[in-house]
Amino acid sequence: MRVLIATQAERTHFLGTVPLAWALRAAGHEVRVASQPHLRSVAAEAGLPFVPVGRDHHFARVSRNGLADRHLDFDMAEDRDEVLTWDHLREGYGKVVTWWWRMVNDPMLDDLVAFCREWGPDLVVWEPSTYAAPLAAELCGAAHVRHLWSVDLFARVRARFLARMAEQPETDREDPLAAWLGARAARYGVEFSETLVHGQATIEQVPASLRVDTPSHLDYLPMRYVPYNGRAVVPDWLRTPPERPRVGLSLGTSASLRLGGYTVDVGTLLEGLAALDVEVVATLPAHEQAKLGAVPANTRLVEYVPLHALAPTCAAMVTHGGPGTVLTALSSGIPQLLAPHPRMFDIPVLSGLVRDRGAALLLPPDRVTPEAVADGVGALLRDPSFTRAAHTLRHDIAAMPTPADLAHTLTGLADRR
Protein backbone atom coordinates (compact mmCIF):
# COMPACT_ATOMS: atom_id res chain seq x y z
CA MET A 1 0.00 0.00 0.00
CA ARG A 2 1.16 3.52 -0.76
CA VAL A 3 0.60 5.97 2.10
CA LEU A 4 1.04 9.73 1.91
CA ILE A 5 1.49 11.81 5.07
CA ALA A 6 0.36 15.29 4.00
CA THR A 7 0.82 18.36 6.13
CA GLN A 8 1.27 22.06 5.78
CA ALA A 9 4.73 23.08 6.98
CA GLU A 10 4.22 23.21 10.75
CA ARG A 11 6.97 21.30 12.53
CA THR A 12 5.19 20.37 15.74
CA HIS A 13 2.08 19.19 13.88
CA PHE A 14 4.17 16.94 11.65
CA LEU A 15 6.14 15.40 14.55
CA GLY A 16 2.99 13.81 15.94
CA THR A 17 2.50 11.83 12.71
CA VAL A 18 5.98 10.26 12.73
CA PRO A 19 5.27 7.23 14.98
CA LEU A 20 2.37 6.20 12.71
CA ALA A 21 4.52 6.74 9.62
CA TRP A 22 7.19 4.48 11.13
CA ALA A 23 4.57 1.86 12.00
CA LEU A 24 3.26 1.87 8.45
CA ARG A 25 6.75 1.51 7.01
CA ALA A 26 7.54 -1.30 9.46
CA ALA A 27 4.38 -3.07 8.26
CA GLY A 28 5.82 -3.04 4.74
CA HIS A 29 3.97 -0.08 3.26
CA GLU A 30 5.54 2.59 1.08
CA VAL A 31 5.33 5.91 2.94
CA ARG A 32 6.11 9.42 1.75
CA VAL A 33 5.72 12.82 3.38
CA ALA A 34 4.47 15.74 1.30
CA SER A 35 4.75 19.28 2.58
CA GLN A 36 6.11 22.67 1.70
CA PRO A 37 9.91 22.93 1.31
CA HIS A 38 10.36 24.40 4.80
CA LEU A 39 9.70 20.97 6.35
CA ARG A 40 12.36 19.18 4.30
CA SER A 41 15.04 18.84 7.00
CA VAL A 42 12.54 17.90 9.73
CA ALA A 43 11.14 15.04 7.66
CA ALA A 44 14.61 13.93 6.59
CA GLU A 45 15.73 13.76 10.24
CA ALA A 46 12.75 11.49 10.91
CA GLY A 47 14.05 9.07 8.28
CA LEU A 48 11.03 9.51 6.01
CA PRO A 49 11.10 10.11 2.22
CA PHE A 50 10.09 13.72 1.61
CA VAL A 51 8.35 15.28 -1.39
CA PRO A 52 8.36 19.10 -1.47
CA VAL A 53 5.13 20.52 -2.87
CA GLY A 54 4.34 24.12 -3.71
CA ARG A 55 5.98 26.99 -1.90
CA ASP A 56 6.35 27.89 1.75
CA HIS A 57 3.48 29.67 3.45
CA HIS A 58 3.98 32.84 5.47
CA PHE A 59 1.77 32.11 8.47
CA ALA A 60 4.61 32.25 11.01
CA ARG A 61 5.93 35.54 9.61
CA VAL A 62 2.47 37.08 9.60
CA SER A 63 2.00 35.94 13.21
CA ARG A 64 5.32 37.47 14.31
CA ASN A 65 4.42 40.75 12.61
CA GLY A 66 1.16 40.92 14.52
CA LEU A 67 -1.05 40.80 11.42
CA ALA A 68 -2.66 37.55 12.48
CA ASP A 69 -3.42 38.95 15.94
CA ARG A 70 -5.28 41.85 14.36
CA HIS A 71 -7.25 39.68 11.96
CA LEU A 72 -7.28 36.21 13.51
CA ASP A 73 -8.91 37.22 16.78
CA PHE A 74 -11.49 34.44 16.79
CA ASP A 75 -11.08 32.20 19.83
CA MET A 76 -11.71 28.62 18.69
CA ALA A 77 -11.57 27.50 22.31
CA GLU A 78 -14.70 29.50 23.16
CA ASP A 79 -17.55 27.24 24.29
CA ARG A 80 -20.19 29.57 25.76
CA ASP A 81 -23.48 29.62 23.86
CA GLU A 82 -24.13 33.25 24.74
CA VAL A 83 -20.86 34.23 23.03
CA LEU A 84 -21.18 31.94 20.02
CA THR A 85 -23.87 33.89 18.21
CA TRP A 86 -24.30 33.65 14.45
CA ASP A 87 -22.67 37.05 13.85
CA HIS A 88 -19.72 36.14 16.05
CA LEU A 89 -19.21 32.76 14.36
CA ARG A 90 -19.71 34.05 10.81
CA GLU A 91 -17.19 36.85 11.21
CA GLY A 92 -14.66 34.85 13.24
CA TYR A 93 -14.85 31.71 11.12
CA GLY A 94 -14.28 33.81 8.03
CA LYS A 95 -11.10 35.21 9.55
CA VAL A 96 -9.83 31.72 10.43
CA VAL A 97 -10.37 30.58 6.85
CA THR A 98 -8.65 33.66 5.38
CA TRP A 99 -5.81 34.17 7.81
CA TRP A 100 -4.95 30.56 8.61
CA TRP A 101 -6.37 27.75 6.49
CA ARG A 102 -6.31 29.52 3.15
CA MET A 103 -2.88 30.99 3.85
CA VAL A 104 -1.22 27.63 4.56
CA ASN A 105 -3.07 25.56 1.93
CA ASP A 106 -3.24 27.62 -1.25
CA PRO A 107 0.55 27.65 -1.80
CA MET A 108 0.69 23.83 -1.88
CA LEU A 109 -2.64 22.79 -3.39
CA ASP A 110 -1.88 22.49 -7.11
CA ASP A 111 1.46 20.77 -6.60
CA LEU A 112 0.01 18.35 -4.05
CA VAL A 113 -2.78 17.43 -6.46
CA ALA A 114 -0.25 16.89 -9.24
CA PHE A 115 1.87 14.63 -7.03
CA CYS A 116 -1.11 12.53 -5.93
CA ARG A 117 -2.17 12.07 -9.55
CA GLU A 118 1.38 11.03 -10.41
CA TRP A 119 2.12 8.73 -7.45
CA GLY A 120 -1.36 7.34 -6.78
CA PRO A 121 -1.50 6.85 -2.99
CA ASP A 122 -3.94 4.33 -1.57
CA LEU A 123 -4.23 6.26 1.71
CA VAL A 124 -3.64 9.90 2.64
CA VAL A 125 -3.12 10.77 6.31
CA TRP A 126 -3.49 14.51 6.75
CA GLU A 127 -2.86 17.13 9.43
CA PRO A 128 -6.23 18.67 10.36
CA SER A 129 -5.65 22.14 8.89
CA THR A 130 -4.22 20.75 5.63
CA TYR A 131 -7.45 20.81 3.63
CA ALA A 132 -5.55 20.52 0.36
CA ALA A 133 -4.91 16.86 1.26
CA PRO A 134 -8.45 15.44 1.36
CA LEU A 135 -9.20 17.27 -1.87
CA ALA A 136 -6.18 15.63 -3.55
CA ALA A 137 -7.13 12.26 -2.04
CA GLU A 138 -10.71 12.45 -3.32
CA LEU A 139 -9.44 13.40 -6.76
CA CYS A 140 -7.14 10.38 -7.05
CA GLY A 141 -9.52 7.93 -5.35
CA ALA A 142 -7.50 7.40 -2.18
CA ALA A 143 -8.89 6.78 1.29
CA HIS A 144 -8.05 9.63 3.66
CA VAL A 145 -8.04 10.26 7.42
CA ARG A 146 -7.34 13.29 9.60
CA HIS A 147 -4.52 12.96 12.12
CA LEU A 148 -5.21 15.20 15.13
CA TRP A 149 -2.41 16.62 17.23
CA SER A 150 -4.66 17.70 20.11
CA VAL A 151 -8.31 17.88 21.12
CA ASP A 152 -10.67 18.21 18.17
CA LEU A 153 -11.61 21.88 18.27
CA PHE A 154 -11.88 21.80 14.48
CA ALA A 155 -14.92 19.52 14.62
CA ARG A 156 -16.45 21.24 17.64
CA VAL A 157 -16.32 24.68 16.08
CA ARG A 158 -17.56 23.37 12.73
CA ALA A 159 -20.56 21.74 14.40
CA ARG A 160 -21.43 24.95 16.27
CA PHE A 161 -21.06 26.99 13.09
CA LEU A 162 -23.32 24.72 11.03
CA ALA A 163 -25.94 24.61 13.77
CA ARG A 164 -26.08 28.41 13.98
CA MET A 165 -26.13 28.73 10.19
CA ALA A 166 -29.08 26.34 9.94
CA GLU A 167 -31.07 28.69 12.18
CA GLN A 168 -30.70 31.57 9.71
CA PRO A 169 -32.88 32.36 6.70
CA GLU A 170 -31.39 30.81 3.58
CA THR A 171 -30.62 34.24 2.17
CA ASP A 172 -28.42 35.05 5.18
CA ARG A 173 -26.43 31.82 5.29
CA GLU A 174 -22.74 32.18 4.61
CA ASP A 175 -20.14 29.41 4.94
CA PRO A 176 -16.58 30.74 4.44
CA LEU A 177 -14.98 27.29 4.63
CA ALA A 178 -17.35 25.73 2.09
CA ALA A 179 -16.97 28.78 -0.18
CA TRP A 180 -13.16 28.67 -0.17
CA LEU A 181 -12.62 24.91 -0.19
CA GLY A 182 -15.58 24.31 -2.50
CA ALA A 183 -14.16 26.72 -5.07
CA ARG A 184 -10.78 24.97 -4.96
CA ALA A 185 -12.44 21.56 -5.26
CA ALA A 186 -14.61 22.66 -8.19
CA ARG A 187 -11.47 23.50 -10.19
CA TYR A 188 -10.73 19.77 -10.21
CA GLY A 189 -14.28 18.51 -10.58
CA VAL A 190 -14.56 17.47 -6.92
CA GLU A 191 -17.81 18.26 -5.13
CA PHE A 192 -17.56 19.87 -1.70
CA SER A 193 -18.80 17.78 1.22
CA GLU A 194 -18.10 17.58 4.94
CA THR A 195 -15.76 14.67 4.20
CA LEU A 196 -13.31 17.29 2.91
CA VAL A 197 -13.52 18.92 6.35
CA HIS A 198 -13.44 15.89 8.67
CA GLY A 199 -11.97 13.09 6.56
CA GLN A 200 -13.41 9.60 6.22
CA ALA A 201 -12.14 8.95 9.76
CA THR A 202 -10.11 10.80 12.39
CA ILE A 203 -7.05 9.58 14.28
CA GLU A 204 -7.20 10.84 17.87
CA GLN A 205 -4.24 10.67 20.26
CA VAL A 206 -5.76 12.18 23.40
CA PRO A 207 -7.41 9.58 25.66
CA ALA A 208 -11.19 9.50 25.97
CA SER A 209 -10.96 11.13 29.40
CA LEU A 210 -9.55 14.30 27.77
CA ARG A 211 -11.88 14.53 24.75
CA VAL A 212 -14.10 17.49 23.91
CA ASP A 213 -17.67 17.08 22.66
CA THR A 214 -17.87 16.57 18.91
CA PRO A 215 -20.59 15.33 16.51
CA SER A 216 -21.53 11.71 17.18
CA HIS A 217 -21.44 10.72 13.51
CA LEU A 218 -17.67 11.27 13.20
CA ASP A 219 -15.56 8.11 13.12
CA TYR A 220 -12.68 8.38 15.59
CA LEU A 221 -9.75 5.98 15.55
CA PRO A 222 -7.91 6.11 18.90
CA MET A 223 -4.13 5.76 18.81
CA ARG A 224 -1.70 5.77 21.72
CA TYR A 225 0.44 8.87 21.93
CA VAL A 226 4.06 7.89 21.36
CA PRO A 227 6.42 10.82 22.09
CA TYR A 228 8.66 11.93 19.25
CA ASN A 229 10.52 15.23 19.53
CA GLY A 230 12.92 14.98 16.60
CA ARG A 231 16.51 13.82 16.32
CA ALA A 232 17.86 13.30 19.82
CA VAL A 233 20.85 12.23 21.88
CA VAL A 234 20.38 11.30 25.55
CA PRO A 235 23.09 13.15 27.55
CA ASP A 236 25.23 11.34 30.11
CA TRP A 237 23.93 13.38 33.06
CA LEU A 238 20.38 12.23 32.35
CA ARG A 239 21.39 8.61 33.01
CA THR A 240 22.21 9.41 36.66
CA PRO A 241 19.21 9.56 39.04
CA PRO A 242 18.80 13.04 40.57
CA GLU A 243 19.70 13.52 44.22
CA ARG A 244 16.75 15.84 44.74
CA PRO A 245 13.29 15.88 43.14
CA ARG A 246 13.72 16.98 39.55
CA VAL A 247 11.44 19.58 37.95
CA GLY A 248 11.46 19.85 34.17
CA LEU A 249 10.74 23.22 32.56
CA SER A 250 9.63 23.09 28.93
CA LEU A 251 7.79 25.89 27.15
CA GLY A 252 7.69 24.37 23.66
CA THR A 253 8.84 25.93 20.40
CA SER A 254 5.74 27.44 18.78
CA ALA A 255 5.50 30.60 20.90
CA SER A 256 9.17 31.43 20.53
CA LEU A 257 9.07 30.93 16.76
CA ARG A 258 5.64 32.39 16.02
CA LEU A 259 5.28 35.11 18.63
CA GLY A 260 8.95 36.06 18.96
CA GLY A 261 9.17 34.94 22.59
CA TYR A 262 7.51 33.00 25.37
CA THR A 263 4.22 34.12 26.88
CA VAL A 264 5.66 33.81 30.41
CA ASP A 265 8.85 35.25 31.86
CA VAL A 266 11.38 32.44 32.21
CA GLY A 267 13.40 34.33 34.83
CA THR A 268 10.33 34.56 37.05
CA LEU A 269 9.71 30.82 36.73
CA LEU A 270 13.31 30.02 37.67
CA GLU A 271 13.22 32.45 40.59
CA GLY A 272 10.16 30.69 41.97
CA LEU A 273 11.70 27.24 41.52
CA ALA A 274 14.87 28.46 43.30
CA ALA A 275 12.85 28.66 46.51
CA LEU A 276 12.30 24.88 46.46
CA ASP A 277 14.67 22.06 47.34
CA VAL A 278 14.62 20.69 43.79
CA GLU A 279 16.84 20.26 40.76
CA VAL A 280 15.56 22.20 37.76
CA VAL A 281 16.23 21.20 34.15
CA ALA A 282 15.16 23.99 31.79
CA THR A 283 15.12 23.25 28.05
CA LEU A 284 15.67 26.58 26.30
CA PRO A 285 17.19 27.47 22.91
CA ALA A 286 20.43 29.45 23.02
CA HIS A 287 18.78 32.77 22.12
CA GLU A 288 16.35 32.41 25.03
CA GLN A 289 19.15 31.44 27.43
CA ALA A 290 21.06 34.56 26.41
CA LYS A 291 18.20 36.71 27.71
CA LEU A 292 18.50 35.31 31.24
CA GLY A 293 21.96 36.19 32.48
CA ALA A 294 22.79 34.41 35.76
CA VAL A 295 20.39 31.66 36.81
CA PRO A 296 19.76 30.10 40.25
CA ALA A 297 22.22 27.49 41.47
CA ASN A 298 19.64 24.69 41.32
CA THR A 299 19.06 25.23 37.56
CA ARG A 300 20.58 23.28 34.69
CA LEU A 301 20.10 25.02 31.33
CA VAL A 302 20.11 22.82 28.23
CA GLU A 303 19.33 23.77 24.66
CA TYR A 304 17.61 20.50 23.97
CA VAL A 305 17.08 17.17 25.65
CA PRO A 306 14.62 14.49 24.49
CA LEU A 307 11.48 15.25 26.45
CA HIS A 308 10.43 11.59 26.50
CA ALA A 309 13.78 10.80 28.20
CA LEU A 310 13.64 13.75 30.61
CA ALA A 311 10.01 13.40 31.75
CA PRO A 312 10.32 9.98 33.48
CA THR A 313 13.12 11.35 35.68
CA CYS A 314 10.98 14.26 36.92
CA ALA A 315 8.73 14.53 39.95
CA ALA A 316 6.86 17.43 38.33
CA MET A 317 7.03 19.62 35.24
CA VAL A 318 6.32 23.25 34.43
CA THR A 319 4.98 23.59 30.89
CA HIS A 320 3.07 25.88 28.56
CA GLY A 321 0.27 23.38 27.96
CA GLY A 322 1.12 22.43 24.38
CA PRO A 323 -0.26 19.01 23.41
CA GLY A 324 3.10 17.40 22.63
CA THR A 325 4.59 18.50 25.94
CA VAL A 326 1.48 17.71 27.99
CA LEU A 327 0.96 14.26 26.49
CA THR A 328 4.65 13.39 26.79
CA ALA A 329 4.56 14.22 30.50
CA LEU A 330 1.31 12.32 31.00
CA SER A 331 2.74 9.30 29.15
CA SER A 332 5.19 9.09 32.06
CA GLY A 333 2.59 9.91 34.72
CA ILE A 334 4.12 13.29 35.66
CA PRO A 335 1.92 16.07 37.15
CA GLN A 336 2.33 19.56 35.72
CA LEU A 337 2.07 23.23 36.54
CA LEU A 338 0.56 24.65 33.36
CA ALA A 339 0.85 28.27 32.23
CA PRO A 340 -1.29 28.26 29.07
CA HIS A 341 -1.66 31.25 26.78
CA PRO A 342 -5.40 32.05 27.00
CA ARG A 343 -5.81 32.48 23.22
CA MET A 344 -3.45 29.81 21.87
CA PHE A 345 -6.07 27.64 20.08
CA ASP A 346 -6.20 24.24 21.84
CA ILE A 347 -3.75 24.94 24.65
CA PRO A 348 -6.16 26.46 27.23
CA VAL A 349 -8.75 23.74 26.52
CA LEU A 350 -6.34 20.83 26.90
CA SER A 351 -4.78 22.42 29.99
CA GLY A 352 -8.17 22.83 31.60
CA LEU A 353 -9.09 19.22 30.90
CA VAL A 354 -5.88 17.94 32.50
CA ARG A 355 -6.49 20.21 35.51
CA ASP A 356 -10.06 18.94 35.79
CA ARG A 357 -8.73 15.36 35.92
CA GLY A 358 -6.57 16.35 38.89
CA ALA A 359 -3.21 15.90 37.15
CA ALA A 360 -2.22 19.57 36.94
CA LEU A 361 -2.53 23.04 38.39
CA LEU A 362 -3.15 26.07 36.18
CA LEU A 363 -1.25 29.34 36.51
CA PRO A 364 -2.38 31.97 33.98
CA PRO A 365 0.60 33.80 32.41
CA ASP A 366 -0.54 37.15 33.79
CA ARG A 367 -0.44 35.71 37.33
CA VAL A 368 3.02 34.18 37.16
CA THR A 369 5.06 35.38 40.12
CA PRO A 370 7.93 33.65 41.94
CA GLU A 371 5.63 33.00 44.89
CA ALA A 372 2.88 31.52 42.71
CA VAL A 373 5.35 29.24 40.94
CA ALA A 374 6.85 28.03 44.22
CA ASP A 375 3.39 27.44 45.71
CA GLY A 376 2.15 25.57 42.65
CA VAL A 377 5.11 23.26 42.17
CA GLY A 378 5.38 22.80 45.94
CA ALA A 379 1.76 21.59 46.00
CA LEU A 380 2.42 19.13 43.16
CA LEU A 381 5.36 17.66 45.09
CA ARG A 382 3.63 17.52 48.47
CA ASP A 383 0.19 16.24 47.51
CA PRO A 384 0.32 12.70 46.07
CA SER A 385 -3.14 13.05 44.55
CA PHE A 386 -1.68 14.93 41.59
CA THR A 387 0.74 12.10 40.81
CA ARG A 388 -2.02 9.51 41.25
CA ALA A 389 -4.20 11.38 38.77
CA ALA A 390 -1.31 11.66 36.31
CA HIS A 391 -0.73 7.89 36.66
CA THR A 392 -4.41 7.30 35.85
CA LEU A 393 -4.05 9.30 32.64
CA ARG A 394 -0.84 7.41 31.87
CA HIS A 395 -2.84 4.19 32.15
CA ASP A 396 -5.55 5.61 29.85
CA ILE A 397 -2.92 6.46 27.23
CA ALA A 398 -1.20 3.08 27.51
CA ALA A 399 -4.53 1.28 26.99
CA MET A 400 -5.06 2.88 23.56
CA PRO A 401 -4.17 0.99 20.36
CA THR A 402 -0.54 1.41 19.34
CA PRO A 403 0.49 2.97 16.02
CA ALA A 404 1.25 -0.58 14.86
CA ASP A 405 -2.31 -1.62 15.74
CA LEU A 406 -3.71 1.35 13.87
CA ALA A 407 -1.56 0.60 10.82
CA HIS A 408 -3.57 -2.64 10.40
CA THR A 409 -6.85 -0.75 10.81
CA LEU A 410 -5.85 1.78 8.16
CA THR A 411 -4.88 -1.00 5.78
CA GLY A 412 -8.43 -2.31 6.05
CA LEU A 413 -9.86 1.17 5.49
CA ALA A 414 -7.83 1.60 2.31
CA ASP A 415 -8.77 -1.88 1.09
CA ARG A 416 -12.49 -1.12 1.52
CA ARG A 417 -12.01 2.11 -0.41
Among 8-22, 46-60, 118-132, 206-220, which stretch is predicted with the lowest mean pLDDT? 46-60
- The mean pLDDT value for 198-225 works out to 97
- The mean pLDDT value for 340-367 works out to 91
pLDDT band at 161 (very low <50, low <70, confident <90, very high): very high
- The mean pLDDT value for 36-64 works out to 88
- The mean pLDDT value for 237-257 works out to 86
pLDDT for residue 261 is more than 80: no
> What CATH class does 2-224+400-416 carry?
alpha beta
pLDDT for residue 334 is more than 70: yes
Residue 413 has what pLDDT? 87
Residue 177 has what pLDDT? 97
The pTM score is 0.94
Q: Give percent of the chain with pLDDT exceeding 70.
A: 94
Residue 40 has what pLDDT? 96
Q: Which amino acid is at 157?
A: V
Distances (CA, A) of 310 to 51, 233, 239, 332, 389: 32, 11, 10, 10, 20
pLDDT for residue 31 is more than 70: yes
Residue 259 has what pLDDT? 55
Residue 411 has what pLDDT? 93
Residue 312 has what pLDDT? 96
pLDDT tens string 380-411: 999 999 999 999 999 999 999 999 999 999 99
**With DSSP H G I counted as helix, E B as strand and the rest as coil, what are the percentages for the chain, rounded to 5?**
50, 15, 40
How many Å separate Cα 409 from the centre of its chain? 23
pLDDT for residue 316 is more than 90: yes
Which pairs count as long-range contacts for 255-263, CB under 8 Å and 24+ apart, including other chains?
255/320, 255/341, 255/344, 256/285, 256/288, 257/60, 258/60, 258/63, 258/64, 259/63, 259/64, 260/64, 261/288, 262/288, 262/320, 263/320, 263/339, 263/341, 263/344, 263/365
- The mean pLDDT value for 18-28 works out to 98
Q: Are 265 and 367 in contact (CB under 8 A)?
A: no
Residue 66 has what pLDDT? 52
- The mean pLDDT value for 303-323 works out to 95
pLDDT for residue 253 is more than 80: no
pLDDT for residue 69 is more than 60: no
Distances (CA, A) of 79 to 89, 166, 273: 11, 18, 34
Among 237, 317, 249, 346, residue whose Cα is nearest residue 289: 249
Residue 9 to residue 17: CA distance in whole angstroms: 13
Architecture of the domain made up of 236-398:
3-Layer(aba) Sandwich (3.40)
Mean pLDDT for the chain overall: 93
Residue 86 has what pLDDT? 95
- Same CATH topology for 2-224+400-416 and 236-398? yes
Residue 308 has what pLDDT? 94
Which three-class secondary structure state does DSSP give residue 338? strand
Other beta carbons within 10 angstroms of residue 110's beta carbon come to: 16
Residue 65 has what pLDDT? 54
Residue 368 has what pLDDT? 95
pLDDT band at 263 (very low <50, low <70, confident <90, very high): confident
Domain boundaries of the chain, sorted by first residue: 2-224+400-416, 236-398
Residue 25 has what pLDDT? 97
pLDDT for residue 93 is more than 70: yes
- The single-letter DSSP state of residue 209 is G
What are the phi and psi torsion angles at 295 (to 5°)? -120, 160
pLDDT tens string 177-211: 999 999 999 999 999 999 999 999 999 999 999 99
Most distant pair of Cα atoms in the chain: their distance: 69
